[in-house]
Chain A
Amino acid sequence: MNEILKLLEEDSRYTPSQIADMTGKDEQYVRDTVKRCEDEHIINGYTTLIDWDRTSEEAVTAFIEVKITPQRDDGYDRIARRIYQYEEVESLYLMSGSFDFSVIVSAKSLREVSRFVAEKLAPIDGVISTATHFIMKRYKDKHRAFIVEPQQEERTLFV
């Protein structure tokens, strides 16, 4: 199973037939495994890595450190749920260290992000403080460099 997942993580466009060939498994087995992983939320979706900076689309991403007071009974989870339900929240992680949540938010403008923090995030019960850092440039995401390095000159060498 993990072998199939690793291939899909590398490129989710690989077809079941390609994955079957690469792993030496039966195509139906691959289809079944993928289906089961989807059902069990091991696979949580398929997406595409886009460098929006190369398009005309206006977009900003911010990384927000959030400190909270954990709630009785639910600990961190209830507050987390309140935060991640927002459409603007791209990722949410519980962190060790000097703050509790790392919230990654994407929006169309700085102002939209600021409004999200001021009007939605900060007022949540239990949130003590926030620190917002805007992402200025994305060099690498999901193991893929967004910077295109010039290729070495073509060579025709017989080896």
Chain B
Amino acid sequence: MMDYESLMSENVRTLKPSGIRRFFDILDTMQGAISLGIGEPDFVTPWHIREAGVYSLEQGYTKYTSNAGLIRLRAAISEYLQRRFDLRYDPAGEVFVTVGGSEAIDLCIRTMLNPGDEAIIPVPSFVCYGPLVTMAHGVPVYVETRAENEFRLTPEELRSAITPKTKLLILPYPNNPTGAIMERADLEALAEVLRGTGIMVLSDEIYAELTYGQHHVSPANLPELYERTLLVNGFSKAYAMTGWRLGYVCGPAAIIKQMLKIHQYGIMSAPTTSQYAAIEALKNGDGDIETMRGSYDKRRKLLLTGLRRLGLPCFEPRGAFYMFPYIGGHGLSSEEFCTRFLQEENVAIIPGTAFGPGGEGFTRICYASSVQNIETALTRLDDFLGRLGK
């Protein structure tokens, strides 16, 4: 009998599984639950993009591409970033194509960290950063952002988290799960703190196209931060292409060159079909982004007004497609609240604690769902809160 537990990597074995496994186990058993839980676009990839993928298959484009991805795609990414965000990256050495934004995040972390190096992670935020830092033998340092600051990372919070071992600052904005954004002034304040340090910034901008009322600003837009920024983006959220698994990373050529080695050995190249579809998305997809953003925005307003009508404190999220209302004060933890809401009202929303420390008292509601689902969820939430005695 093999003792598998003792054979596996200590690092993997001690990696904490998602704290809300129990919640998802219940969700699995629920029939016909309304889910405002899964964070992905409710659109199918626009047809002209899908067609470009199909067309590439018809042409027989089924082989590996270069490690860094099709040069035509890298050129299109470079052109797109300049056109939409006023960012300049050389397609030949400063851009490469990854398997989703997730791989790009993993590669940035693995490329930058030596064992024991610290990575600062503002929370609540998407679940992958901490575990990936741990897997790279680094140390995740969580910084709790606060509702009264609209979950932005403040310079004071950043300063207090920096130690001589800090190597990386992760900036996950627009943010999942809070919908927070960072504006130029916020980033300038962080730049002030980072000045003179060797800290690199990993900016996860997968929701960059989904901002409401103001244009996304990347740390790379600040001359002071440009040279220390690794920019991660992808196609999943902007073009509703989650299943195509395609993202990219941009940054200083010296780092990209090293990072590419891990990709080369571990991945070879991102899916070829997806790369051809992505070229079409970048060249002719601006209208799709406009349409989808408009649609999310209407639902955002609908949900926000609805939540406030129920008396739930909620700051107005200005990015992504999530709302992060406060649900504390009913004598229930976030997880208890969401579990009971699911069991009693058949609606799935995610406990804030799933997104790291600082999420207690909150819940993430994804509004990339039909107007009807949102309305039904609000009605049931009203009933549920009524039973809890508001």
Contact A22 B299 (CB under 8 A): yes
* Of the residues B27, B39, B176, B306, contact of A21 by C-beta under 8 Å: B306
Could you tell me the distance between the alpha carbons of A158 and B24 in the complex, rounded to whole angstroms?
Answer: 9
Contact B127 A22 (CB under 8 A): no
Could you tell me the distance between the alpha carbons of A71 and B354 in the complex, rounded to whole angstroms?
Answer: 73
In the complex, chain A residues whose CB is within 8 Å of the CB of B375: 18
Could you tell me the distance between the alpha carbons of A159 and B302 in the complex, rounded to whole angstroms?
Answer: 23
* Of the residues B27, B40, B301, contact of A156 by C-beta under 8 Å: B27
CB closest residue in chain A, given B378: A21
* Of the residues A22, A152, A156, contact of B302 by C-beta under 8 Å: A22
Task: Given A11-B371, A14-B371, A21-B306, check contact A158 B127 (CB 8 Å).
Answer: yes
Interface size class of A (residues with CB under 8 A): 10 to 19
Contact B298 A22 (CB under 8 A): yes
Contact B40 A158 (CB under 8 A): no
Contact B301 A159 (CB under 8 A): no
- Can you list, as one digit per residue, whether each of B1-26 has a CB less than 8 Å from chain A (1) or not (0)? 00000000000000000100000100
Could you tell me the distance between the alpha carbons of A152 and B243 in the complex, rounded to whole angstroms?
Answer: 11
- Can you list, as one digit per residue, whether each of B175-200 has a CB less than 8 Å from chain A (1) or not (0)? 01000000000000000000000000
Shortest C-beta distance, B24 to chain A (Å), equals 6
- Indicate whether B38 reaches chain A with its CB closer than 8 angstroms: yes
Contact B306 A156 (CB under 8 A): no
Contact A157 B38 (CB under 8 A): yes
- Can you list, as one digit per residue, whether each of B37-50 has a CB less than 8 Å from chain A (1) or not (0)? 01110000000000
Which residues of A come within 8 Å of B, CB atoms?
7, 11, 14, 18, 21-24, 152, 156-159
Interface contacts beyond A22-B301, A159-B39: sample of 15 additional A-B pairs, CB < 8 Å, sorted by A: A11-B371, A18-B371, A22-B299, A22-B302, A156-B24, A156-B27, A156-B28, A156-B38, A157-B38, A158-B24, A158-B38, A159-B40, A159-B126, A159-B176, A159-B242
